[in-house]
């Protein structure tokens, strides 16, 4: 899918973020430090990573600057309230950058941290895929600790099967 106008991308990306926020709303505050094994991202790391990479890698390079991503550790935000505030604040900073883009900017080339050059719209598409990837990881993590997670589009797979005849 080619992103051709910023006015159609922004509401689409808002919906992606709404689904992520619905999932974050069920994260137990006492589970932020849980990881499925040592040296892997914790639930809190995953949340901070989605926020930090969007703002400091994707938004910076989309704005024509170098990535300034420095990780996703507790030093950025620790505890449930601060982590969720960090997530929301960095997203709003990113959205300020994205709202300033013109349709023509979507065709402008940007350079990724891996030194690949591509149109901004493709990098924005990669940003969406990145968030979805980490949201899926959070679904798995939360299921591993027996947290009931919200269905993505209103119905669970079991409900879809029950309604399908």
DSSP letters, 114-159, are TS-EEEHHHHHHHHHHHHHHHHHHHHHHHHHTT-----TTSS-HHH
Rg of the chain in Å (alpha carbons): 17
Q: What is the pLDDT of residue 84?
A: 98
pLDDT tens digits for range 115-150: 999 999 999 999 999 999 999 999 999 999 999 999
pLDDT at 158 over 90: no
Tokens for 138, please give them: 């959070």
pTM of the model: 0.94
Helix, strand, coil shares of the chain as percentages rounded to 5?
60, 5, 35
Q: Looking up tokens 């300033």, which residue turns up? A: 100
Domain ranges of the chain: 6-163
Predicted local confidence at residue 153, as pLDDT: 76
Backbone angles phi and psi of 117, in degrees to 5: -115, 130
Say if residues 35 and 42 touch (Cβ distance below 8 Å). yes
Q: Tens digits of per-residue pLDDT, 43-100?
A: 999 999 999 999 999 999 999 999 999 999 999 999 999 999 999 999 999 999 999 9
Mean local confidence (pLDDT), 97-123:
97
| CA distance linking residue 20 with residue 117, whole number of Å | 28
Domain range 6-163, CATH architecture = Up-down Bundle (1.20)
What does each C-alpha distance from 63 to 1, 26, 41, 83 come to in angstroms? Answer: 21, 33, 28, 25
* Two tokens, residue 140: 């798995």
Burial class (CB in 10 A: 0-12, 13-18, 19+), 80: middle
Query: Residue 103: pLDDT band by 50, 70, 90 thresholds?
Result: very high
Q: Would you say residue 157 has pLDDT above 90?
A: no
**Structural tokens at position 2:** 């080619």
- Cα dihedral 143, 137, 91, 17 in deg (nearest 10): -70
CA distances 67 to 124, 128, 135, Å, are 14, 17, 22
């Amino acid at each position: 899918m080619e992103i051709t106008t910023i006015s159609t991308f922004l509401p689409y990306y808002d919906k992606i973020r709404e689904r992520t926020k619905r999932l974050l709303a069920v994260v137990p505050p006492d589970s932020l430090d849980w990881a499925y094994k040592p040296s892997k991202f914790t639930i809190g790391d995953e949340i901070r990573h989605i926020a930090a990479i969007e703002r400091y890698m994707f938004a910076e390079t989309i704005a024509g600057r170098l990535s300034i991503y420095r990780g996703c550790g507790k030093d950025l935000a620790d505890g449930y309230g601060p982590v969720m505030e960090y997530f929301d604040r960095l997203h709003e900073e990113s959205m300020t950058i994205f709202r300033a883009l013109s349709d023509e900017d979507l065709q402008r080339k940007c350079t990724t941290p891996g030194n690949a050059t591509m149109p901004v719209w493709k990098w924005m598409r990669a940003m969406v895929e990145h968030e979805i990837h980490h949201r899926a990881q959070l679904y798995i993590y939360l299921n591993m600790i027996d947290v009931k997670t919200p269905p993505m589009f209103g119905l669970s797979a079991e409900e879809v099967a029950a309604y399908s005849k």
